[in-house]
Amino acid sequence: MRVCLAAIFVLFLWSKPLRALLHSSSSFAFTPPRSRTTFSTSQLNASASGLYRPFSEHALTRLEQSGLFIPSNGVIPAHLRRKEVPAKGNMPPGTMVRIETRALTSRHKNVAYARCALLETLLPSDEEVVSTKGIQVLNIVIFPSIHTDLPVWGVDLVSLPGDKHLLAIDVQPMSYAQQKQDDNYYSALFHEWYVTHVESKFEWGGDLPEKAAKFFSPYALWTRLQGAEEAISLIQGDVSEAFVAHLELYLQVVKEYSFDEPKDNVQEEYLQYRLENDPARPMLQSLYGAEWTEQLLTQVLFPKQQQ
Ligand code: DBV
């Protein structure tokens, strides 16, 4: 009797459905998730990241650690926090162009708002790779309180197809008095930074749009690079060192600010200029559509400041 029961049990075990179940459950237990599931295209890119992601993560961490800001992505409407579309042009199938936005609100009287837009072209990859091809952009603006004459922290790191790179890091003068002087109080604080990180390392990026020029300090990093490997290593080396040092200096200047309220703050004019003349508008519209782009610009990137 027992032999019969054992035989029946063995036959049952080796029936196809049960073997399939046992196999899948055992493979479920021991196979790393990655080879167990076929990911959608965007999930395949989960392990890829863009050229400027380390810059973005560093800045967001330092802004929170500074005690000046509170991470507040909730102030960004959900549909404007992230958008991802297939890349156009001659990129490998499955390449995606993803933009992510992050916002921080004020925790200190000297600041108003900060936001970050990271746009990455991500090659389909199952490995930890850094995508440097296609469009890669990091755009960060820190808005000080308009009850100060503190400069805006403006960063625009842009890499475009054809291995073209435009890099802007600057404390942007926010009063008429500062704009008129060639070298105002705040610029002087960044002179040493400029000599160390910019003067002997980067060529001036050429004429700025006329209306933009007045918002640039004499000690801006503003340069254009051309090329792949060499330019990328410059970006990941000298540019990242300049970026880190500039942010530290800016946060220190903001924390130490304690002057009287200025009378000629130009932040509203700056906002209007950036909003109306954003050089990225055509690119963003082509990728994500005109309506979404205008919402992004007006509600997240250059919103009217509630002060
Ligand atoms: N620029 C932005 C935002 C971007 C962005 C929000 C999310 O303000 C990207 C993306 N900037 C971006 C792109 C380009 C530039 C160019 C994609 C290249 C456009 C192209 O050539 O196709 C600094 N960024 C520029 C330029 C400058 C800056 C000067 C060249 C503009 C030109 O040549 O016409 N930072 C940027 C800027 C100011 C600043 C315009 C003005 C005060 O502080």
CA-proximal residue: ligand 1, atom 36 (nearest): 156
> Which residues, in sequence order, are bridge partners of residue 119?
99, 137
Say if residue 3's pLDDT is above 50.
no
- Write down the pLDDT at residue 118: 98
**Lowest-confidence pick of 57-71, 222-236, 254-268:** 254-268
* Averaged pLDDT for residues 16-27: 36
pLDDT of residue 304: 87
pLDDT tier, 33 (very low <50, low <70, confident <90, very high otherwise): very low
pLDDT at 45 exceeding the cut of 60: no
Task: Give the model's pLDDT for residue 183.
Answer: 57
- pLDDT at residue 12, as a whole number: 44
Which ligand 1 atom minimizes the distance to the CA of 99?
7
How does residue 32 score in pLDDT terms, banded at 50, 70 and 90?
Answer: very low
pLDDT, average across residues 285-304: 97
| pTM: predicted TM-score of the whole model, two decimal places | 0.84
Percent of the chain with pLDDT over 90: 67
Please give the mean pLDDT across all residues of the chain.
85
Ligand 1 atom at minimal distance to the Cα of residue 301: 6
Residue 306 pLDDT more than 80? no
Please choose, from the candidates 236, 298, 235, 293, the residue with its C-alpha nearest in 3D space to the C-alpha of residue 271. 298
Q: State which ligand 1 atom lies nearest to the alpha carbon of 302.
A: 6
- Choice from 51, 83, 98, 156 to test ligand 1 binding pocket (greatest atom count within 8 A of CB): 156
Summarize pLDDT for 165-216 with one digit per residue, the tens: 999 999 998 888 888 776 578 888 999 999 999 999 999 999 998 888 999 9
How does 42-58 read in b/e, with b if 16+ C-beta sit within 10 Å?
A: eebbeebbbbbbebbee
Report whether 226 contacts 163 (CB < 8 A): yes
Compare 48 and 100 and report the one with higher pLDDT: 100
Q: What is the pLDDT of residues 243-265, one digit of tens each?
A: 999 999 999 999 999 877 777 88
Ligand 1 neighbours (beta carbon < 6 A) = 117, 119, 137, 139, 154, 156, 158, 166, 168, 172, 208-209, 212, 215, 274, 278-280, 283, 301
Q: What is the average pLDDT across 50-65?
A: 97
In one-letter notation, the amino acid at residue 240 is: S
Confidence of residue 9 (pLDDT cuts 50, 70, 90): very low
User: Residue 80's closest CA among 244, 302, 275?
Assistant: 302
Task: Mention every residue, 6+ apart, whose C-beta is less than 8 A from residue 279.
Answer: 209
Amino acid at 92: P
C-alpha count within 13 angstroms, C-beta hemisphere, residue 223: 18
> Which residue in 88, 69, 81, 59 sits closest to 157, CA to CA?
59
pLDDT number for residue 127: 75
Q: Tell me the pLDDT tens digit for each residue of 137-152.
A: 999 999 999 999 999 9
What pLDDT, in 10s, does the model give residues 202-226?
999 999 988 889 999 999 999 999 9
